[in-house]
Amino acid sequence: MPASKTPDSPADTSAHRPMRTFGRIKSRPIKPLQAALFDTLMPSIAVPDPKAGPVDPTAMMPDAKAVWLEIGFGGGEHLAAQAAANPDALMIGCEPFLNGVASALRHIDEGGLKNVRLHADDARAVVEALPDASLDRVMILFPDPWHKVRHNKRRLVQDDFVTALVRVLKPGGRLRFVTDWKDYAEWALERFQRNPHLAWQANEADDWKVAPADHVVTRYEEKKLGDTAPLFLEFERTA
């Protein structure tokens, strides 16, 4: 692979970083054409460094009618499809797995998408840097399950992170959590329902067993790696 500006592995700042909620950040070598997009495309669509100060969505896309955040977009199929279907919405995608970021860049480039911004690292830093009530939707699809009990503390969905998400959601904003692990669905539901500002939108079993109309099936989902068919938990931010 030719030299490129593909992000390096983060330096060891474990004393200052929150506990990692994701696994590896790179696997196989990134294909040359995708690697080149880190040089040509990524600089123009990268989310401003959240460590440098507040992240203002209106500065990224001033004419956006809505702002969506996808946390852990995997290969980017879902993010790109939602961006294509909602061109007036700013789509912010966060993913620490560099091969996934490379794949997303390809989808964005091939689709000519102008409403996507990417953060190739931990989403929690972006959430922390966003203004209050700045998001219309948050989507968390198939996060690392950490299904061994001793690893549950590494799960993304924790009480403090739910509080952080509620802060950045607008009243009436939606949060969607999808997993194919029963234990994680129960874990997440318990923590989401503990927050008094989130209302679960389910009235019957089909509401969490049947995919919403706008759901986009991803390659990960097709692999069926979990212990259940996907479970869809949808919440609304109350006043």
pLDDT digits (tens, 9 = 90+) for 57-95: 999 999 999 999 999 999 999 999 999 999 999 999 999
Is the pLDDT confidence value at 164 over 90?
Answer: yes
Cα 217 to the chain's mean position, in Å? 15
| Whole-angstrom distance, CA of residue 70 vs CA of residue 139 | 5
Rounded to 5°, the CA angle 172-174-180 comes to: 160
Instruction: Tell me the mean pLDDT in the region 20-33.
Output: 64
Q: How confident is the model at residue 17 (pLDDT cuts 50, 70, 90)?
A: low
In a domain, 201, yes or no: yes
Residue 11 pLDDT exceeds 80: no
Active site residue 88: no
Q: Indicate the helix (H) or strand (E) that contains 168.
A: helix 159-168
Q: How far apart are CA 66 and CA 87, in angstroms?
A: 10
Q: Is 9 inside a domain boundary? A: no
Domain residues for the domain of 154 are 32-237
| Integer CA distances (angstroms), 73 to 59, 92, 97, 138, in order | 22, 10, 9, 12
Q: Kindly state whether residue 24 falls inside one of the protein's structural domains.
A: no
Interatomic CA distance for residues 73 and 51, integer angstroms: 21
Any domain includes 17: no
Residues in the annotated binding site for S-adenosyl-L-methionine:
70, 95, 122, 144
Q: Give the pLDDT confidence score for residue 6 in this predicted structure.
A: 47
Q: What is the pLDDT of residue 10?
A: 40
Residue closest to 151 by CA, chosen among 59, 18, 21, 34:
21
1, pLDDT greater than 80:
no
Between 18 and 67, whose confidence is greater? 67
Distance, CA of 158 to CA of 47 (rounded, Å) = 24
Contact 176/212 with Cβ under 8 angstroms? yes
Residue 103: give its domain's CATH number. Answer: 3.40.50.150
Closest CA to 201 of 169, 168, 236, 229: 236
SS3 235: strand
Q: Which residue ranges make up the annotated binding site for substrate?
A: 148, 180, 218-221
Number of separate domains in the chain: 1
- 220-227 mean pLDDT: 92
pLDDT, tens digit, for every residue of 125-162? 999 999 999 999 999 999 999 877 787 898 999 999 99
Contact at 8 Å (CB) between 143 and 179?
yes
| pLDDT computed for residue 4 by the predictor | 42
User: Which tens digit of pLDDT belongs to each residue from 103-131?
Assistant: 999 999 999 999 999 999 999 999 999 99
Please indicate, yes or no, if residue 10 is contained in any of the structural domains.
Answer: no
Per the residue annotation, which of 56, 144, 160, 227 is the catalytic one? 144
Binding residues: 70, 95, 122, 144, 148, 180, 218-221
